[in-house]
Chain A
Amino acid sequence: MSLRTKSKILVFFLALVCYLALTSFTDYQEIIAGIAAALIVTLLAGGLLLQTEGKKNLFKRSLKAVEYMFRFLWEMTKANLHVAYLVLHPNLPIKPGIVKIKSSLKNESAITVLANSITLTPGTLTIDYNEKTGELYIHWIDVKSVDEKKDTEIIGAKFENLLKEVFE
């Protein structure tokens, strides 16, 4: 089975489940309408979801993904408390700057998830990604060091190791 067919089947079932969950079906007509809508979606955009061949060990990878989600939620709560502290302080104790970190991830989806996670964790915001060198430019609200290795250690390392196991 080719990658494109797999992707189309996955998209079809996802669209069907979404449709049925949104309409709270009570009748068989709803299911027929859902299948029709899911078919249209599959024909239009079916092949876009999966781009690279999946690896083995799906169960272990999903466990890692769940662990990643919990760590992400914890970091996000910390980020919000940090912003609340900054905003309520009368003197605004900020020291912003743009630093550069290096990422060893190669997979495109992994890079996207890493950049989004960095945006939602304490004090950091991804600005740009350089494909050739694998460097991420990050706006940091409270610069602790300007050394590239140290910054990578502080900002990126906590997500990067987990993401490597999830995606690669």
Chain B
Amino acid sequence: MKIIRWFAGLVVILAFLYMNFFYLEIELIVRLINVILFCSLFVLFRVIVGPSPADRIVAVDILGVLIIGLLALTSLWNDQSFFLDVGLIWALMSFIASLAFSKILEGRPLDD
């Protein structure tokens, strides 16, 4: 059963990589952005399915770090540096959000 699931995942990933790198005709940096968007689909899967609240918090925290990479690539693509400002602020907010979520999870009030 485990092996079957592993192969199914492998097939999905290989199909995506084939589509992205050999079928479509786009710039290299757009292909890389596509890979990161595909990664964030996995993260969203964990946000939706995650059996416990902690799983969802982990996924949201990781999404924040992933988005910084995405915004760095976007700023390279457009040659505009303000996307990186957005990324820095996003990282800050997601860090504070993780702290607040875990305080709630632990059962303490926010102003402790």
Contact = CB atoms under 8 A, between A and B. Distances in A.
Do A and B touch, yes or no (CB under 8 Å, in the complex)? yes
B22 interface: no
B96 interface: no
Interface residues of B, number: 3
Interface in A62-109: 90-91
Nearest to A91: B2
A interface secondary structure, majority: loop
Nearest to B5: A90
Nearest to B85: A22
Interface of A: 90-91
A91 B1 CA distance: 11
A88 B2 CA distance: 13
B86 to A, nearest CB: 14
A90 B6 CA distance: 6
Contacts of A90: 2-3, 6
Nearest to B3: A90
A130 B42 CA distance: 36
A119 B3 CA distance: 30
A126 to B, nearest CB: 14
B7 to A, nearest CB: 8
Contacts of A91: 2
Interface in B1-55: 2-3, 6
B39 to A, nearest CB: 13
Contacts of B3: 90
